[in-house]
Amino acid sequence: GSAMNGQASQLQEQLKPLGFASIQTANATSAAAQTLIVFSQSVTAATRSTIIDAVKQLYPNLSSQENTQAQYDVTITLGQTPP
């Protein structure tokens, strides 16, 4: 994670107006150097683009990938690089 208090809540508030209602936050077990977005196969290209654009507003240095075994539709791990 980012190791910075309140960052997940700030991103959550950024995503809610875009129609993402079921958002859960948690602390990562270790710090991440870069923000990473992991998508399940079920997430459409349009939704991926919307999420990436929203996250980039706060965390411009990010990467994304697809995981065919993903437990959630989208998992975002915030990196340590401050926005």
- Which tens digits make up the pLDDT trace of 62-74? 999 999 999 999 9
CA distances from residue 81 to 6, 28, 34, 64 in whole angstroms, order as listed: 14, 15, 7, 16
Spatial separation of the C-alpha atoms in residues 83 and 72, rounded to whole Å: 25
Backbone phi, psi, residue 54, to 5°: -65, -45
pTM for this predicted structure: 0.83
The pLDDT confidence band at residue 53, using thresholds 50, 70 and 90, is very high
**What percentage of the chain carries pLDDT values higher than 70?**
90
pLDDT at 49: 96
